[in-house]
Amino acid sequence: MTDLAPTREHAELAASVRNLLERRSDSQAVRRAIEQPAGFDPELWATLCDQIGVAALAIPEERGGAGFSLVETYVVLEELGRALTPSPLLASVVACAALLHPRSSSLSKGPDPLERIAAGTVATLAWSGVTGPADAAVGVTWSDGALTGSVSPVLHGDTAEILLVVGQHDEGLGLFSVDPAATGLTRTRVPGMDPTLTFAHIELDNVKAETITLDASELLATVHRVGTLATAALQVGCAQRGLDMTVDYTKQREQFGRPIGSFQALKHRMADLLVQVQMSRSAAWAAVQAAVEGAANAERLAAAAGSYCAEAAMAVAAETVQLHGGIAITWEHDAHLVLKRAQALNQLFGLPHQQRAALIP
């Protein structure tokens, strides 16, 4: 692996994203974005795509992208996680991983979807593996060029302009492209615990679909690994936000005439949180590097990172609420957003115990 630690270029990319989010995605802006019809701020998303190119980072230049890798996308996702910014980037990254796989064939109709994604068009993958293990049962079947069945929940499934669907057929699993305006397709937003993540229920009734590949097993394993790493980046950022908030609060909150952060017992608890955040970041970074380099242990490192980052984010979020006290359960404070984000991300791409099961030979 070439970059055992983030390079100066990675730090500069992170700083650029962080500076933008500090101006455009503070606590009040996040709450306004939640109320948007799309579930995120389209103007901020356009700025992220136009000025920084976040959606194009992992797409090759010949397909309209910036020609970087999943590493740079990880850097951006961690900053989005730290700011708790509602964003369709996770959904688009997963869809890109499917379209970039060698098994995927180019679509015959319309412009290259990767060019559209690079420009900021929202894409998503309707597959049960997004909210479960890679071998989760598929509830959609493909026959005679059409898809029938349902899948839920789907990230940004109600608003995505590029819709990919995994379907079962006689020979296995296939990947298909569906026109979001197709006859027989119903997309319904479903409520979730985390208001900063948007999900939908998708129903398909004999919906015409264009085949991308009829042999998607290897493709879906890769997509699941990429999704696990992208989610881990958001979890690391979420945990960092919880730690930062807690440290700042304990410096200000006084009890018995002194800041509660000066009490040794609380110092130890926050030191434990720091260890979990740093170990999460190290595990995720190593796994992303292994995936980009095609290392033999990439799958195992991804599973380890997925398991550890999920549990660390949950633990940090719980301590964030506990150490803030009563103010943490008020709507006005951001602690509940940290907790809800950690809980929601924990459900994506397999629960921690399912990730650990993948480590067993």
Q: Per-residue pLDDT tens for 166-175?
A: 999 999 999 9
Q: Rounded to whole angstroms, how far apart are CA atoms 45 and 47?
A: 5
Residue 213's closest CA among 122, 100, 110?
A: 100
- Specify whether the CB–CB gap between 121 and 162 falls below 8 A: yes
Q: Rounded to whole angstroms, how far apart are CA atoms 221 and 91?
A: 16
242-259: average pLDDT: 86
Same fold, 8-100 and 218-357: no
39-45: average pLDDT: 97
Q: Tell me whether residue 263 is exposed, middle or buried, using C-beta atoms within 10 angstroms of its C-beta: 0 to 12, 13 to 18, 19 or more.
A: middle
pTM, two decimals, is 0.95
Using one digit for the tens of pLDDT, what is the confidence trace for 186-233? 999 998 889 999 999 999 999 999 999 999 999 999 999 999 999 999
Q: Please report, rounded to a whole number, the percentage of residues in the chain having pLDDT higher than 70.
A: 98
Residue 14's closest CA among 95, 71, 67?
A: 71
> Domain residue spans in the chain?
8-100, 123-216, 218-357
Q: Please report, rounded to a whole number, the percentage of residues in the chain having pLDDT higher than 90.
A: 83
pLDDT for residue 109 is more than 80:
no
Token digits of residue 170: 């006689």
Distance of CA 39 to the CA centre of its chain: 15
Architecture of the CATH domain 218-357: Up-down Bundle (1.20)
- Specify whether the CB–CB gap between 163 and 154 falls below 8 A: no
Using one digit for the tens of pLDDT, what is the confidence trace for 111-155? 899 999 999 999 999 999 999 888 999 999 999 999 999 999 999
Question: How long, in residues, is the chain?
Answer: 361
Residue 203's closest CA among 150, 157, 155?
A: 150
pLDDT of 1 reads 44
Q: Residues of 302-332 as b/e, b for ≥16 C-beta within 10 angstroms?
A: bbbbbbbbbbbbbbbbebbbebbeeebeeee
Question: If one looks up domain 8-100 in CATH, what number appears?
Answer: 1.10.540.10
Provide the CATH topology of domain 123-216.
Butyryl-CoA Dehydrogenase, subunit A; domain 2 (2.40.110)
